[in-house]
Every structure is written in structure tokens, then in C-alpha cells.
Structure 1
Amino acid sequence: MDKINLLIIVTVISLFISLFLAFFLLTVKTKHKISNSLFAFFLIISAIDFSYPLFDLVSDGPSNLGMLRNLLCFLQLPVFYLYVVSACYSDFKFKPKFILHLLPFFIANAILIPRFYSVDLASKISFLQNYQNEIELKFNHALIHVQMVTYLVLVFMILRKAKKLYLENYAGTNIKSYNWLFQFTIVLTVLYAATIVKNIFKFSDYPYISAGIKVGLLAFQLVITCWYLFKALNNPGLFRNIDSKLKLVSDIVLEEKKKEQPALKENESNEELVKLRKYMIEEKPFLNPSLTIQDVSKGIEIPVRDLSLLINHKLEQHFYDFVNTYRIENAMEILKDVTKSKVTVLEILYDVGFNSKSSFNTAFKKHTGSTPTDYRKSL
């Protein structure tokens, strides 16, 4: 009885937090409405999925609604995948082809119509009691496992590409948001891996192990839900800075090779490199914390494609690191200036184009091998 009460309490708390956060995301005024709506939808589907202790409490037995609730898990990762894409790319829009993401959900429900959805209660009970031998349930469990692995791989691929595009084209500090999404995906991967193990034991000779893992997953879900809320409060505006039409430098170089043309002629690239460095030193565009490669392209009148190749391919630096080098060099000059000894590190980081202390410290240590405070003391 105590165990049941504990499960109910944990479920109620998780439901409240998930639905509260979903309501907030759906009602808050923001320019990221699509991303917020997708994340809210993901939270709602997840809440319905782990609400089974409450559902079982009020249910008189197997029902079509109960089975439909179970199969909503087929929508979780497709919605999460679309959320990640919308969070990464500023030009994200819903497209008709996204309907294909619903296909596994419809297939899983369709195969249950003959022997579950369309039969009487006694037949439903018999079907579920013999679940280890029912081909439809085995197929659905195999399908959900394939879907989990496929979507998690796709999400990691999207994040990897988006991060690389960001580093090649932007010099802001929103890279922290990518790190959060990576953490988010890793946590979900652990959750779904445990779910796969649970399902394997469910169809084995040790179903009681599956039941134990199920209880553990419910508790883990509460921790994750609280973590969602904490992150949402500390990261109210997730990044959406990348244009999906941007290409990776590696792809551009490959295209140039296929055309059998040099990406940049040596003389031209040297002239452009001199022009770029002169512009960075004299105009100091790096002082803009939201600087993009498009801004620099306009400033020196070099096409973005050529500028990207120049920095990322010829200099073998990401645009993000290239700009931060100038910011750190400028910060070092200020730290060396004895007349500015009373200027705080926090003031300096804002003055040179950073807007995050952690990103400034990381970049400074990467460039100099020491923290800004230690560097100043060593002078």
C-alpha cells in the first residue's frame, strides 16, 4: 500500500510540474513560439505516458483509451526531434513531409485494430494476459526500439552539424544553449536505454525485473521533470540563430573539388587575409557580442562563402575562435595597462565583446593558459 501511495505521489508531482511548464511555454509571449509549442507538446505526451499509476487507479480494465495512451510513446521522440530542429534553425517551418513522423504511431495502432480495438472486454483481457506470445505486441515493441535508436541518432547528428555551423559562422555566446541540448539529449538517451532494457525483460522469463525498472523510471522521470523546470527558468530564451541554408565549410570545399576549381586562389586569399586582419584591428567588429560572419562579410566586401573558406579552411579556425582571439588580445592589452588596474574583469569582458563570464574565462584560458585574474597578477 505504501509503495502504491508513493507511486501516486511521485506521479502527481511529475504531472503537475510537466503540465505547469507546458502551460507556461504555450502562453508566454516569445518570438520562439514554434519551439516552445513543440517542447510543451513533448512534455504533455511524456506526462500522459508516465501517468499510468493514476490511469490504472481509475480504470476498470483494459480499454481502447488505455491502449491509445500507451502508444502515445510513439510520438515522443518525433516531437523531440522537431523541437531540436526548430531550436537550432531560425528559419524552421512546419512542412507537409513532417506528417511522415506520425507513421509509426499509426502503424502501431492499426495492427491492433483486429484483435484489440475492435473486440469485447473479455477478448482484450485474454490478449493482454498472453502478451508475451502476441505477435502484434512483439512487433510494436520492436518498432518502438528501432524508432528510439533512429531518432536519437538523428538528434545527435543535427546537434553536431548545428554546433559546427554555429562555430563557423557566429561569434556570440549562445553556444551554451547547444551544450544544454546535448545534455538534454544524453539524459533522454539514458532514459530510453533503460526503457529498452525494461521492455526486453518484459518479454523474457523475468517480467518482475521489468516491473522494478518501470518503478525506477517513474522516479527518474520526476528528477528529469524537475531538471526541465530548472533549466527552463535559467535559460528562458533558447538559441535559434542558424540559417538552415548555411553550408559546412567541408561541404563547400568538396563542391569546389568536384568542379575541379581551387576554392580560393593563393594570391587572392593572401590579399583577402590582409584585408580581413586590417579590418579586425582597425574597425574592431569583435566588440559586437552578436557578431556574425555575414556582418564581417559586409564590412570588407568579401562574399560569405569566400570568407568562410578563408577563416575556417585556410586559417583552420572556426569563426567563433577567430573572433575570440581578437577579443582576448584586446582584453590582454587592458589587463596590461597599469592605468586600468581598477577596471574589473567583469567590465573588461563586456568591453571586449563577451557577454558571459564563463565563456570569457574559457576562451582566455584556451588562448593564454591562465585565467584573466591570474594573468593580471603575473604582470
Structure 2
Amino acid sequence: MNRIDLIIIIGLMSLGLGVFFSAFLLLRKGIKNWSDYLIPLVVLLVSIELFYAISFYSELILKLPEMFGFGRVFQLLVYPLLLIQVIYLRYKTLKWWYILIILPVLADSLFSLYSITNIPVEIKIDWLRNIFQNEYTPPINQWNHWHILVRQIAVPILFLIPINYFSVQQLRASGKKEKEMFLILVVVSLLYFLFRLANNTISIYLYKVIEVPLIDWALIIVFDSVVLILLCYMIVKSVELNRVGFIKNKGSKNTGSIIGEEKMESFYHLAKNTIEQKKLYQKKGFSLNDLSEETNINTTYLSQSINTIEQQSFSEFINSYRISKAKEYLKDREYDYLTVEAISEEVGFKSKSAFYRAFKKEVKCLPKEYKERFLKK
């Protein structure tokens, strides 16, 4: 490499992280369905793009002119892969026609790959020499080309709209672990789009101000590194969730029985929907046995499903609903006539002291303090 600086070091470290995690998930045993390949493929695509940016910024591409153009060929595939991942997480099912979401973009990417492959190496070398002949070559204004506008704006928006629609729906009904994963997916998809939209303009502006050579590639390296770190964090959380997806029921009479991940999620969502629709959390003394009778699921499976997905005990899970409802009462002036004790009874707590303990544990302050802080705002 002709240039090695902090940007290159950050890029190489992130690239190593991305390659490791994508290879780890793509090659691991026990993959149940093709949805398990989606995020690793996104990581792999971003890693390829990052490597291409590093090769340009470090001028390594001068020694590998055959690579010219390859780094951005599969850029658009990130969006349909993220969309299918979101749909799968939302509905927990895979349909054969999901592949149709990918096909148009895949066809475009393969056509671009074919076109680039057919460009003679000599021409690529000439292009690269023109780019690097001046140490301070400014970024090219990409917005002068209509096909770039279509690729960078129109196509991504077609995928971003359903990605955000399904994500918002799921965020309202997910457990804490799932919410975190959905937020990462939404953030990554939006950032990926916004950066591609603004990078060229920002690069041109920065070049005029500070005249840093290849500033556009430096920005891509930093951005792709951030995206890879977010996705790798999501992979860690996903693996953690899957690892506890098969747990022995130690408290069950039939010791050694196992709940599969799909059954666990099914039990959890049935329990959650039943609690919310019937507002069972408002019943004083509502117990795991009561929920078992409502859902026809044994208490061991219910407890395990809630513990695994929410990382909470049953009582903490129920109390979170009660606290959420209590906060609504405390914030609404229409209920100013209700005392704290009356609110605690209304939301299902047996005593004022139990309400205070649960409220402080979750909100980190007492009910009266919470109300005063909210009124001050």
C-alpha cells in the first residue's frame, strides 16, 4: 500500500471484523433456513465495498487494476436483503416469492458485473492513471449522471418505505431483544441511504475547504466501518438470542424437554397478545397459573418463553405493563384527582409499597417525582 494512516487502520480492523462475522455465520452448522444467510450476506457486501474503498484510498488498486469498478457492483443488494430480513422477523415465516424481491436488483448487479468485466485492463489502467496523476484530484460530481440518481435515490426508496413500515409495526409488539435488532436494521438502512445520498456533496465541499486527497474514499471507509460494527453487534445479539432458543426446562416434570425457538416465540406472542388484549395485568394477584389457564400453555413453557425473550421474570414482565399504564395516568392531567395509591390499585398492584418498589426499579424514581418532572417539561 502506498498510503497507511489512521483511516486505513480503522478500515482494516473493521474489514477483519466483518469478514470474520460473515464467515462465522455463513459457515456455521445448524442453519435452519435461508433467512439465516441474510444479515451475513449484508455484512459480506459491505465488507467488499469497504475493501474496495481501502484499495482506492491506499492506492493499492494501482497494483490491482482488474478490481476497478467491482466494489460498487453489489451495493444495491443491501436493501432487498434488509427488507426480507425485516419481513421475516415481522411474520416469522418464509415464502418462496420473497426471492422475487431480490431478483431485479440481482439482475442489475450481475449486468453491471458483466459490463465491468468486459472492460479491457488497459482502459482501466488509463482511467486509474487519470485519477491518480494529480495528488489532489477532486471528487467527481456524480449527480451529473441520471443513472446514478436512479440507483442512489429511486431504487433505495422503493425498499426503505416497506422496511420502515414493517419495522414500526414490529417495534410496537416486540420484546426488548427484538426491538434492539429492529432498531439496528432501521438505523443501518436509513444511514446507508442517507450517506450514499450525501457523500458526494460532502466530499466536494470538504475538498474545497481542506483539499484532502481522496476524501470521498476516506469518508466511505469510516462510514462502512460504522455500519459493519453495528451489524456485527446485531449478529452477536442474534447469536445470543438463538443460543438461548433451545433451553432445558429444569423445572418441568419431564426434565430434559426442549422448546424449539419457533415454539418459544409462538408461546411468547400468544401470552403477550392475550395479556394486552384482555388487560390481564390490571388484575390484582394475576399469576403465571392464571396466564396458563388463559392461554392453555403450561407454566414451565410460559415462564421459559418470557424469561428467554424478555430477559425478565414473569412478575417483572407483568409489572412492566402496570408501570407503563401508571405512567400514562401520572402524565395525564385528566387523572390528577387520582392519588398514587389509587393509581397503584387501578393498574393491578396489591399494595402501594409494591408499586413504589416496582416503579423505582424500572423508572429510577418515585411516582410523585416522575409526575413533577413531567409537569415541569
- TM-score strictly above 0.5: yes
1:95 aligns with 96
The 2-side partners of 1:2 and 1:117 are apart by 26
1:313 aligns with none
Query: How far is 1:110 from its partner?
Result: 2.8
1:325 and 2:322 equivalent? Answer: yes
2:198 aligns with 197
1:237 and 2:241 equivalent? Answer: yes
1:163 aligns with 171
1:23-42 matches, within 5 Å, as 23-26=23-26, 34-42=34-42
Task: State the SS of the aligned residue for 1:333.
Answer: coil
1:139 aligns with 147
1:214-363 matches, within 5 Å, as 214-233=217-236, 236-237=240-241, 241=265, 284-285=287-288, 296=294, 324-325=321-322, 332-333=349-350, 336=353, 361-362=362-363
Report which structure shows greater RCO (CA 8 Å, sep ≥6). Answer: 1
The 2-side partners of 1:176 and 1:365 are apart by 24
1:151 and 2:134 equivalent? Answer: no
The 2-side partners of 1:323 and 1:214 are apart by 47
Query: How far is 1:210 from its partner?
Result: 9.8
User: Is this contact kept in 2: 1:280–1:286, CA < 8 A?
Assistant: no
Change (3 A) 1:369 1:151: farther
Task: State the SS of the aligned residue for 1:237.
Answer: helix
Task: State the SS of the aligned residue for 2:241.
Answer: coil
Query: How far is 1:226 from its partner?
Result: 3.4
Query: How far is 1:191 from its partner?
Result: 4.0
The 2-side partners of 1:365 and 1:283 are apart by 25
The 2-side partners of 1:136 and 1:146 are apart by 16
Unaligned 5+ runs, structure 1? 167-173, 250-271, 300-319, 350-356, 372-379
Q: How many residues align?
A: 290
The 2-side partners of 1:218 and 1:200 are apart by 16
Change (3 A) 1:277 1:73: closer
User: Is this contact kept in 1: 2:281–2:321, CA < 8 A?
Assistant: no
Q: Using the aligned pairs only, state the percent identity.
A: 13
The residue type paired with residue 169 of structure 2 is K
TM superposition score normalised by structure 1 = 0.56
The residue type paired with residue 217 of structure 2 is K
User: Is this contact kept in 2: 1:14–1:225, CA < 8 A?
Assistant: yes
The residue type paired with residue 50 of structure 1 is L
Query: How far is 1:153 from its partner?
Result: 2.5
The 2-side partners of 1:132 and 1:227 are apart by 29
1:307 aligns with none
Query: How far is 1:18 from its partner?
Result: 1.0
The 2-side partners of 1:180 and 1:369 are apart by 34
User: Is this contact kept in 1: 2:79–2:189, CA < 8 A?
Assistant: no
Query: How far is 1:11 from its partner?
Result: 2.4
The 1-side partners of 2:28 and 2:109 are apart by 35
The 2-side partners of 1:111 and 1:40 are apart by 23
Query: How far is 1:139 from its partner?
Result: 0.9
User: Is this contact kept in 2: 1:45–1:73, CA < 8 A?
Assistant: yes
Query: How far is 1:157 from its partner?
Result: 0.7
Change (3 A) 1:287 1:77: farther
Unaligned 5+ runs, structure 2? 132-138, 243-260, 298-316, 325-343, 371-377
Query: How far is 1:365 from its partner?
Result: 7.5
- What is the aligned-residue RMSD (CA, Å)? 5.1
2:375 aligns with none
Change (3 A) 1:22 1:210: same
Change (3 A) 1:59 1:100: farther
User: Is this contact kept in 2: 1:159–1:178, CA < 8 A?
Assistant: no
Change (3 A) 1:185 1:209: farther
TM superposition score normalised by structure 2 = 0.57
The 1-side partners of 2:97 and 2:33 are apart by 19
